Structure 1
Amino acid sequence: MKLNKLFLILMLLVSITSFSQGLLKQKQEQIKSIKVAFITNELSLTPDEAAKFWPIYNAFEDKQQEIRRTKLKGYINRLDDETFDNLSEKESANLLTQLESTEDDLYQLKKKFNADLRAVLPASKILKLKKAEEKFNRKLLQQFKERRAKR
């Protein structure tokens, strides 16, 4: 009987976790689609420009996220670790070198992204993209703050 209850609780926890992850993924997709519409509108992309722009943009976003996830993960995990304050100078130097390398990788990725965009968009729209991304992020943060304040 106890085994059945334990199994039921375990299944309930797995279901809740799966449901939560599904909701998070759904919310991320929703935000992404709103961002696509927002940026397309802000840049006044023609259908031809949009067809060339979005594959480049999405590849950039994916690669940027991959770099952050894989390379910064070790650094961030060390920040959360209680032993962070007890790192030796050599360990600290290694972490700093890792962080610098990651930042350099991200910088090189951004340079390549800008070069790729120049082939499909005028410079004025590339600058508008930077402004549109900042504007979108500010709006998203504002909505998040407003929702938290209502709770």
Structure 2
Amino acid sequence: MNLKKIIPLVLLLTSISFYAQSGSSKSKKEQIQSMKVAFITTELNLSAKEAQRFWPVYNSFDDKQYEIRHDKMTLCKVHLTDAGMSKLSDKEAATLLDKMENSEEDLYALRTKYSKDLREILTPTKILLLRKAEDDFNRKLLHQYRDKAKKK
């Protein structure tokens, strides 16, 4: 096994052990991020030049995507409860629908820009590997949470 594959693997294993010991949600988020970085780096086998250009674009996209989704979820939590729905007028509901649709359009525009930016950095094959790596990572993370919940 070459050094490029060993270092991210060690980072991933270290991150997992810290995650298991952690208590605060902020540090958990940071640990998940570091696990994700290690996992994606390993899966994509990024060169140093690719990594230097890729990670700022990826992190910016990830932050903006999180912000848009968080704002949408906040809207939904406030207004789409049983109590909130009973108080909504048709005009307010229409405004809420417009906001939700706008956030979906914002996400689509963000993904389109991200895809264009990635094409300048990575090959199409690596972009597809990235999407697969993200899905695989999310699946593994979900399994870890389920396993942890079963043990409690």
Range into which the TM-score falls when normalised by the shorter chain: 0.7 to 0.9
Q: For residue 65 of structure 1, what is the amino acid of its counterpart?
A: Y
1:10 maps to: none
Q: Distance in 2 between matches of 1:66 and 1:86?
A: 27
Higher RCO structure, 1 or 2 (CA under 8 Å, sep 6+)? 1
1:89 aligns with 2:95: no
Map 1:1-151 to 2 at 5 A.
23-80=24-81, 82-151=83-152
Superimposed CA distance per residue, residues 68-123 of structure 1 (whole angstroms, 9 cap, x where no aligned partner): 23344223311236131442222222111111000000110000001001111001
Q: Distance in 1 between matches of 2:150 and 2:76?
A: 32
TM norm structure 2: 0.79
Contact 2:78 2:84 in 1 (8 A): no
Q: Distance in 2 between matches of 1:70 and 1:142?
A: 27
Contact 1:72 1:102 in 2 (8 A): no
Aligned length: 130
Contact 1:60 1:113 in 2 (8 A): yes
Q: Which structure 2 residue ranges, 5 or more long, are not aligned?
A: 1-22
Q: For residue 145 of structure 2, what is the amino acid of its counterpart?
A: F
Q: Which structure 1 residue ranges, 5 or more long, are not aligned?
A: 1-21
Q: CA RMSD of the aligned region, Å?
A: 1.5
Q: For residue 70 of structure 1, what is the amino acid of its counterpart?
A: D
Identity %: 51
Segment drifting more, 22-31 vs 39-48: 22-31
Q: Whose Rg is larger?
A: 1
Q: For residue 122 of structure 2, what is the amino acid of its counterpart?
A: L
Contact 2:44 2:130 in 1 (8 A): yes
Q: For residue 151 of structure 2, what is the amino acid of its counterpart?
A: K
Contact 1:56 1:116 in 2 (8 A): yes
Q: CA deviation at 1:66?
A: 1.7
Q: For residue 103 of structure 1, what is the amino acid of its counterpart?
A: E
Deviant stretches of 4+, over 4 Å: none
Contact 1:43 1:128 in 2 (8 A): yes
